Amino acid sequence: MSNKERLIHDLTVGSVPKTLIKFALPLFLSGLLQTLYNMVDMVIVGRFVGPEGLAAVSIGGEMLHMLMFIAMGLSNAGQIWISRYVGENRKDKIGKMVGTLFTVLFSASIVLMIVCASFHREMINWLHTPIEAWNMTRDYVLTCIFGLVFIYGYNLVSAILRGMGDSKHPFIFIAIASVINIILDIVFVAILKMGPLGAALGTVISQAVSFIFALTILIKHREQFYFTLNQDAFKVDKESLDNLISLGIPMVIQSAAISFSMLFVNSFINMYGVVVVAVTGIGKKLENMINIMSQSVSSAGGAMVSQCLGRGKEKRVTQTVKTCYEIMVLPVLILSLITIIKPEWLFGLFTDAPEVLKLAVAYIPITLVQYAGSLTRPANFALINGSGNSRLNLAVALLDGVIFRIGFAYFLGVIMNKGILGWWYGSAISGLIPFVIGTIYLVSGKWKDRVTTINSDVKN
């Protein structure tokens, strides 16, 4: 049995829990390494610079995350389409989608780099960055902006490999990047005293190396991806672009809306000073520890749902959704218990500043709400994204990313006069909205209509 035949067999016939774990585990390990080396930025900066450095890395990190909205949305959409083409054995479509993805994402990264570099001061000021952390934030943000092309490139190649069922190589790439980033953080921040600028340089350089390795593998094995390097290889294929846009734009809007709403809420949080910003940034890193598994399960589950729908296997779709929930329970429970029992120790990993550790205790309930959102999201996004329901994706983006996140936070923080706790709770509660929408979609059975649509497309 060839690798592709084994892939299709596992996704459409094999044990659902084993297959989901098999495909999610490398994604999780890759995300874990990426999160760990991002946490290293905050740990080293927090230890060697202080709360001001933590605030700069926190604000700069949120801005960088916002700039990733196109890469995340379109690369995830491309991965789902490639995975579907593999399941349907449509070789001619795979190479065209790969070439289209390359051209679209690299073009987007260059445009974003130019625009954001031109208006970086306005962006930093709009976020009400504390004056003590302004210069450090500028250094961090500008460095990351000029490294966007490498960050986009890595996400692009990884999505292509994962769409073909290869999650091993992306894990190797991120492992290399993690080691390089940790070494450079120690050199630039701890030894050379470059502060957040050094942390940003370490991130960009490590991502560049990771991208180069990933691109080398893709070119070396391009025949397996039905991709050539002739003059037409990177030509935008109209059908591929239409498919990419139909599924990717709602994902882009979703990612952009959530990122924008987070920045909007954080712009008010930032006005409370560097200590509050530092606590918020650490809390976000803790949430990301669960989110890496959440995103891994969601991505693997989406690929399974997509291929099962392509093969008309409805029962395996519901089994996949159920398994996504089951996989997430244990890690969420463990981190929740640690957060409740040892909050000072957990936040103390990042800093020993007493004012930060004191405020961290008040942040405990907020982290628990955030963990609950991370527990419930992957199953619902696996179903919504895997079924290719672009309209529902758009609805989730607008409700979760804009209306509820900003609405809840503003209502509790300003109208109810709850101050920083109101902004924190409002932002955290909005993370439960995808669960509500996704559950209604699952119970309604509307996703089954996608089986008929997909099978009709294949016959045509």
pLDDT tens, position by position, 389-409: 877 877 887 787 678 889 999
Both tokens of 174, joined, read 């991120």
Question: Does position 7 have pLDDT exceeding 60, yes or no?
Answer: no
- What's the pTM value of the predicted model, to 2 decimals? 0.72
Q: What is the pLDDT of residue 455?
A: 46
Query: Span 418-422, mean pLDDT?
Result: 92
Q: What is the pLDDT of residue 226?
A: 65
Residue 452 pLDDT grade (very low, low, confident, very high; cuts 50, 70, 90): very low
Number of CB atoms found within 10 A of residue 417's CB: 8
Q: What is the pLDDT of residue 233?
A: 67
Q: What is the pLDDT of residue 372?
A: 93
Residue 454 pLDDT grade (very low, low, confident, very high; cuts 50, 70, 90): very low
Q: How far apart (Å, rounded) are the C-alpha atoms in residues 272 and 227?
A: 52
Q: What is the pLDDT of residue 459?
A: 42
In one-letter notation, the amino acid at residue 419 is G
Q: Taking a C-beta distance cutoff of 8 angstroms, is the pair 413, 407 a contact?
A: no
Q: What is the pLDDT of residue 14?
A: 61
Residue 327 pLDDT grade (very low, low, confident, very high; cuts 50, 70, 90): confident
Query: What percentage of the chain carries pLDDT values higher than 90?
Result: 25
Query: Span 277-298, mean pLDDT?
Result: 85
Residues 6+ apart with CB under 8 A from 252: 69, 70, 72, 73, 74
pLDDT tens, position by position, 35-84: 776 677 788 888 898 889 989 988 988 888 888 888 888 888 888 888 77
Question: Does position 343 have pLDDT exceeding 70, yes or no?
Answer: yes
Q: What is the pLDDT of residue 100?
A: 87
How far is CA 149 from its chain centroid?
17
Q: What is the pLDDT of residue 230?
A: 64
Both tokens of 423, joined, read 């902004």
Q: What is the pLDDT of residue 26?
A: 67
Question: Does position 225 have pLDDT exceeding 70, yes or no?
Answer: no
* Rg of the chain taking only CA atoms, in angstroms: 21
Query: Span 435-441, mean pLDDT?
Result: 90
Q: Which residue has the tokens 């579907």?
A: 84
Q: What is the pLDDT of residue 460?
A: 43
Query: Span 295-301, mean pLDDT?
Result: 82
Residues 6+ apart with CB under 8 A from 111: none
Low-confidence winner among 23-32, 438-447, 450-459 (lowest mean pLDDT): 450-459
Query: Span 210-230, mean pLDDT?
Result: 75
Q: Which residue has the higher pLDDT, 237 or 197?
A: 197
Q: Taking a C-beta distance cutoff of 8 angstroms, is the pair 275, 362 a contact?
A: no
Question: Does position 231 have pLDDT exceeding 70, yes or no?
Answer: no
Question: Does position 15 have pLDDT exceeding 60, yes or no?
Answer: yes
